Chains A and B, each alone.
Chain A
Amino acid sequence: MSDEAIDRELIARWLAGDQRAATTLVERHAAALSRFAAAMGGVTGSDVDELVQDTFVRAFNSLESFRGESSLRTWLFTIERRLMLDRRRAERRRPEKMPVAEGDAASEYTALDGIVADEMQERVRVAVDQLTALQREVFTLRVTEGLSYKEIADIVGSTEGAARVHYHHAMRAVKEYLGVPHA
């Protein structure tokens, strides 16, 4: 059974009143949503947790109207991305920026997880941070989640061709930052 079929079955079970199906759905997708939020930058620690929770709450509130035209994961990413954009806009509207807690997303995660990232990964993170927001979204969804260009296009509201172009531009920029020759 494919991932999408499993999701559809879990959704049907939840709609029929099985609360355990909700737990399974959250377990299946929470990590990807959390990873995407952290990769986008500007969201740290408990903010990631809250963002992921808000994403699921919104999704479950309209799960009855979910038609399955895209995969559940794509739909969840779309909701999460909108929430992130809303938060960024709200941040920009604030007259004074709140002081940022010590440590960025990467270092906080490393501290929490007890893992010391190697130099290459650290440099990749910095390189990805240099990308435009759209390039960062496309690059992250393609490389960390393995989504297709079609799925990415659905999430960011673009076309498959445009998503492909954004990915290649992002990859070129990352390689340049890392000093990796690209032919």
Chain B
Amino acid sequence: MRDCQEDVKDLLPDYVTGRLTPSDAARVSAHIDACQSCAAELTVVRAAHAAFRSPPVDVARIVAALPSPPSKVIELAPRMQRRAFRFTSWRIAATIATIAVSSVSIVALQGILRDDKPPAVKRVVLKTTDAAEASGLSVGGSLNDLSDKEMQTLLDKLDELDAVPSAEPQPAVSGMRGAAGVQ
């Protein structure tokens, strides 16, 4: 023990908390008996050590809030893998079924489209309304029967009517306000 300023005073907390070896504790004890300064500091250390006691804590509540040991997760892992495999299998089966149904639908649709005649209008009869008749527009028979001049006249008359809605072109002049029938 060289000097009480450097050594003994540094050891006092260890002395109070019982962390010293028996031989070191005996040496500190012997020094304190002979050194008033270190004895005074020991009194402070003892008081400070006793002053801060631990407020009670609920150990059971703390333990209940802790996470489960990780080994339990490992234990559950094979089960989870089996579940994941089942889920994956179900997804694969569902995907295959969807593709199969879609393929059948496409083939069937193609067949229907081949069977259907093109929606071209071979014979369109315009049944004009009274208003149209009043304006001098009256067409009977097929449009194919019209000459170029008659067709131009018809188009001119149509231009005089209200604007046709700007929709996709229809096979007939069904967009016209007059009633149109497809035969």
Q: Which of A102-120 contact B (CB under 8 A)?
A: 105-106, 108-109, 112-113, 115, 117, 120
Q: Decide yes or no whether B72 CB sits under 8 A from chain A.
A: yes
Q: Decide yes or no whether B162 CB sits under 8 A from chain A.
A: no
Cβ–Cβ contact B69 & A35, under 8 A: no
Q: Decide yes or no whether B59 CB sits under 8 A from chain A.
A: yes
Cβ–Cβ contact A171 & B70, under 8 A: no
Which of A17, A30, A144, A174 sits near B52, CB closer than 8 Å?
A144
Which of B18, B55, B69 sits near A109, CB closer than 8 Å?
B55
B5: chain A residues within 8 A (beta carbon):
183
Which of A45, A53, A183 sits near B61, CB closer than 8 Å?
A53
Which of A17, A45, A128, A178 sits near B69, CB closer than 8 Å?
A17
Q: Give Cα distance in the complex from A115 to B50, angstroms.
A: 12
Residue interface bits B70-85, CB-to-A below 8 A is 1, else 0? 1110010000000000
Q: Give Cα distance in the complex from A22 to B17, angstroms.
A: 25
Q: Decide yes or no whether B57 CB sits under 8 A from chain A.
A: yes
Q: Give Cα distance in the complex from A33 to B61, angstroms.
A: 15
| Least CB separation from B37: chain A residue | A183
Which of A121, A142, A180 sits near B13, CB closer than 8 Å?
A142
Cβ–Cβ contact B40 & A180, under 8 A: yes
Known A31-B54, A143-B16, A182-B41: A15·B48 in contact at CB below 8 Å = no
Q: Decide yes or no whether A125 CB sits under 8 A from chain B.
A: yes
Chain B CB within 10 A, most for which of A17, A64, A117: A17
A143: chain B residues within 8 A (beta carbon):
13, 16, 45, 48-49
Binds B, one of A54-62, A67-75, A77-85, A91-99: A54-62
Cβ–Cβ contact B44 & A22, under 8 A: no
Which of B17, B47, B71, B75 sits near A121, CB closer than 8 Å?
B47
B69: chain A residues within 8 A (beta carbon):
14-19, 22
Known A22-B63, A57-B66: A35·B53 in contact at CB below 8 Å = yes
List chain A positions with a Cβ less than 8 A from chain B: 14-19, 22-23, 26-27, 30-35, 37-39, 45, 48-49, 52-53, 56-57, 60-61, 64, 105-106, 108-109, 112-113, 115, 117, 120-125, 128, 139-140, 142-146, 164, 171, 174-175, 178, 180-183
> What are 7 A-B pairs at a CB distance below 8 A?
A19-B63, A34-B54, A57-B66, A109-B55, A139-B48, A171-B9, A174-B48
15 other contacts beyond A15-B69, A105-B55, with CB at 8 A cut-off? A17-B69, A19-B69, A22-B66, A32-B54, A38-B53, A49-B61, A52-B62, A53-B57, A56-B65, A115-B53, A121-B47, A128-B52, A146-B13, A146-B17, A182-B41
